[in-house]
Amino acid sequence: QVQLVESGGGVVQSGTSLRLSCVASGFTFSRYAMHWVRQAPGKGLEWVAVMWSDGNLQYYLDSVKGRFIISRDNSKNTLYLQMNSLRGEDTAVYFCARGEGPTGYYTMEVWGQGTTVTVSS
Amino acid sequence: QSVLTQPPSASGTPGQRVTISCSGTSSNIGINSVAWYRHLPGTAPKLLIYRDNQRPSGVPDRLSGSKSGTSASLAISGLQSEDEADYYCAAWDDSLNGVVFGGGTKLTVL
């Protein structure tokens, strides 16, 4: 079955870095855009970044531009989110999600269970 | 402050029909398709409606989506206790070059 499993979350100090991973299974990973979405404690869902299926295009939430980098390894069916210069407001559960097709304009069809990132000051 | 505007809460009794609204602008809902998601804390969000009014397989037809201009709605008929959850609308925003979500609506089944 289609599955996304995130990992890499943890408790880190403000200003440090963390890399999240999302391993996909049950579908042809290289054919789909992939998103990262987060939910801060007590808040709603917030989109973070998207990468097109071929890796040639990516977009970011303004508040993470220049700090976060989305990447993928289609040979390993894995999506990554490199998070640098972490801030307290980055504390959240981070979900990866599969786009509807090769571009990320549309629906997030399948979601993982999420991994928790806590940034302490 | 979310780019898309949803009511923070909605409620209904079992069997009733409830509607959740989502208001956007000409750079998101006005020109791009809307999706709706259901989320229970601690679980993976679930896609309910895509491309404004399409249901993925497995989503019952008592859930329906509609869009007019820069607003969209999710309707749930025959309300059931298991419908209690948070509901989010989302769309691509051409000005922000990203996906924007509504703030979420907490649905309570009385």
What number is the average pLDDT over the span B6-31? Answer: 98
Residue B64's pLDDT is what? Answer: 98
What number is the average pLDDT over the span B19-23? Answer: 98
Contact A106 B44 (CB under 8 A): no
B chain contacts of residue A98, beta-carbon cutoff 8 Å? none
Below-70 pLDDT ranges, chain A: none
B55 touches A at CB < 8 Å: no
Residue B26's pLDDT is what? Answer: 97
pLDDT band of residue B1 (cuts 50, 70, 90) is: confident
Residue B96's pLDDT is what? Answer: 95
pLDDT band of residue B65 (cuts 50, 70, 90) is: very high
The CA–CA distances, whole Å, from B18 to B3, B14, B62, B70, B91 equal 23, 10, 11, 20, 22
| Contact yes or no for B86/B105 (Cβ under 8 A) | yes
